[in-house]
């Protein structure tokens, strides 16, 4: 499901930023789509930490071939089986931590952005970047700017011909749709849309 604000966001961004307007025109008809399962979204974000989209997709496909990705299945999966999918020992630990969290928590998703991030980063293995991916891809929050995201920083450097450190300043004109701007900048770098 595409966020209900998507078309409004595109119009706003095209008016506010000529660089983004060209990128958005290049991917007409494409949009962020929501996955319905919060555990899957957060798990996929963990798998994608600090690796390329292609590598993350390959590992994720092996994990989903191993088992249906649910909290109980991840809790019960052996570390060696999960490692055989291409996950590091650390990421196996993080997936199991997330599974434990989802087995015992719910109802935090209606809090504001910073409150959700604050709760998620309490899970060992979930840092701010992972929580931001969850906010963008599952909760579909409109105004998330993941300043530690390497893809966003590379895209800003490429399309705006500035240092990565200028990203926050450039992003001021994207408010209140920084998540949408980020998605299109990611899209400009990858042959397939980023998904979590």
What is this structure's pTM?
A: 0.83
Give CA–CA dist 74/78, Å, rounded.
Answer: 8
**What's the CATH code of the domain at 93?**
1.10.340.30
58 close to 84: Cβ distance less than 8 angstroms: no
Domain membership of residue 83 as a residue range: 38-137
Tell me if 194 is assigned to some domain: no
The rounded distance, in Å, linking the Cα atoms of 147 and 66 is: 33
Q: Quote the pLDDT of residue 51.
A: 87
Q: Residue 133 and residue 42: Cα distance in Å, rounded?
A: 8
Asked if residue 96 and residue 177 are part of one domain, the reply reads no
Residues 128 and 148 both lie in one domain: no
Low-confidence ranges of the chain (pLDDT < 70): 106
Residue-level pLDDT at 106: 67
User: Of the candidates 101, 116, 137, which is a domain's last residue?
Assistant: 137
Half-sphere exposure of 72 (CA within 13 A, CB side): 0
pLDDT at 35: 72
Note the pLDDT of residue 191.
Answer: 73
CA dist., res. 74 & res. 43, Å (int): 10
Enter the DSSP assignment of 123.
S
The answer to whether residues 181 and 109 belong to one domain is no
pLDDT at site 109: 83
Are 32 and 2 in contact, with CB atoms under 8 Å apart? yes
> What is the structure's pLDDT at 37?
84
Q: Does residue 66 sit in the same domain as residue 112?
A: yes
- Same domain? For 65 and 129 the reply is yes
Q: What's CA 187's distance to the chain center, in Å?
A: 12
Looking at the structure, tell me whether residues 132 and 43 fall in a common domain. yes
Among 73, 47, 41, CA closest to 59: 47
Together in a domain, 183 and 111: no
| Domain annotation covers residue 192 | no
């Amino acid at each position: 499901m595409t966020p209900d604000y998507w078309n409004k966001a595109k119009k706003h961004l095209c008016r506010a930023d000529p660089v983004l307007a060209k990128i958005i025109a290049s991917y007409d008809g494409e949009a962020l789509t929501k996955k319905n399962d919060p555990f899957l979204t957060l798990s996929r974000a963990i798998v994608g930490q600090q690796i390329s989209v292609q590598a993350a997709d390959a590992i994720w496909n092996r994990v989903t071939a191993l088992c249906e990705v649910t909290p109980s299945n991840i809790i019960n999966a052996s570390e060696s089986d999960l490692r055989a999918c291409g996950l590091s020992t650390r990421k196996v630990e993080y997936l199991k931590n997330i599974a434990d969290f989802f087995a015992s928590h719910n109802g935090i998703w209606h809090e504001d952005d910073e409150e959700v991030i604050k709760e998620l980063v309490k899970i060992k293995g979930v840092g701010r970047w992972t929580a931001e991916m969850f906010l963008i891809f599952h909760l579909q929050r409109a105004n998330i700017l993941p300043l530690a995201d390497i893809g966003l920083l590379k895209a800003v450097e490429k399309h705006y011909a500035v240092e990565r450190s200028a990203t926050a300043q450039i992003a001021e004109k994207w408010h209140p749709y920084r998540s949408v701007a980020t998605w299109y900048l990611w899209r400009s770098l990858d042959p397939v849309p980023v998904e979590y």
